[in-house]
Homo-oligomer: A and B are copies of this chain.
Amino acid sequence: MCQLLGMNCNTPTDIVFSFTGFATRGGLTDEHKDGWGIAFFEGSGVRLFVDHQPAISSPVAELIKHYPIQSKNVIAHIRKATQGEVTLENCHPFVRECWGRYWVFAHNGDLKNFTPALDGSFLPVGSTDSEQAFCYLLQSLRRQFGNCLPETGELAVFLQKICAEIAAYGTFNMMLSNGEALFVHCSTRLYYIVRQYPFTTASLADEQVTVDFSELTTPQDKVAVIVTEPLTSNEIWTPFVPGEFRVFVDGDVLTAEAL
């Protein structure tokens, strides 16, 4: 299986602290050594870094740990291959364009006998069930909404339905972002936390690193972090209920219906 990390904020924030703990699991404190990737939205642009080397020894991961890229929406993934070889094209996150926006997707889990009919508008480049699911998801969106990007609420209600449909084929913990919102579906295991005023000190669970967020933030900042396993040892993380779908906008946690 793999691990997922997502961040959604109301102000561009760097993910150096969380990524440092997360990357440690890519071969050191955990066995997810079959590649990794991270995508940062910056305005409507995306920076995507993928590597089929373990995150713990990747020079690109080293760069990310020391280069504070500011972003309001980030998705990262460390991989333990279940389907698909250890090659670059099979590393998450995957990126596609739809309605003149980039969409970023990462998946943790395993889908069995999932062979959706793809019409060619979005096709997988690699051989993972995950990229198939991403293509099916975008194709479904395009079929449902035609040539117009819908409002986030409308989008979320439809995505929740498609995620439940895909999840019937196996484990489908997934994160999807279009740079505005971060959509999250949980099949089995995901946690989240919203850091906001008054900010406190957090200590990584995987490395001996502590940070005082009150020194790095303003009272208006709101930062949601979503992850497969809690990253810090001294904060309270909220578990997702299996089957739950949440939307993160500007650091707020919402249900599809509430949008």
Q: Within the complex, what minimum Cβ distance (angstroms) separates A92 from chain B? A: 12
Please give, as numbers and ranges, the residues of chain B lying within 8 Å of A125 by CB-CB distance: 44-45, 97, 100-102
Q: Identify which of B45, B90, B91, B99 contacts A88 (C-beta below 8 A).
A: B45
Q: Tell whether A126 pairs with B45 under 8 Å between CB atoms, given A63-B63, A120-B147, A121-B121.
A: yes
Please give me the residue from chain B that is nearest to A91 by CB atom: B45
CA distance A258 to B99 in the complex (A): 38
Q: Is the CB–CB distance between B88 and A42 below 8 Å? A: yes
Residue A221 is within 8 A (CB to CB) of chain B in the complex: no
Please give me the residue from chain B that is nearest to A121 by CB atom: B121
Please give, as numbers and ranges, the residues of chain B lying within 8 Å of A42 by CB-CB distance: 87-88
Q: Within the complex, what minimum Cβ distance (angstroms) separates A79 from chain B? A: 13
Please give me the residue from chain B that is nearest to A90 by CB atom: B45
Mask, A89-106, CB within 8 Å of B = 1, is 111000111011110000
Which of A43, A50, A59 lies at the interface centre, i.e. has the most chain B CB atoms within 10 A of its CB? Answer: A43
Please give, as numbers and ranges, the residues of chain B lying within 8 Å of A87 by CB-CB distance: 42-45
Residue A161 is within 8 A (CB to CB) of chain B in the complex: no
Known pairs A45-B125, A121-B121. 11 more at Cβ < 8 A?
Answer: A42-B88, A44-B126, A45-B87, A45-B88, A46-B89, A60-B63, A95-B95, A97-B125, A100-B123, A100-B124, A120-B147
Q: A residues engaging B (CB < 8 A)?
A: 42-52, 59-60, 63, 66-67, 87-91, 95-97, 99-102, 120-126, 147
17 contacts between A and B (CB under 8 A): A42-B88, A43-B89, A44-B87, A44-B125, A45-B50, A45-B87, A45-B88, A45-B90, A45-B91, A45-B126, A46-B89, A59-B66, A60-B63, A97-B122, A97-B125, A100-B125, A120-B147
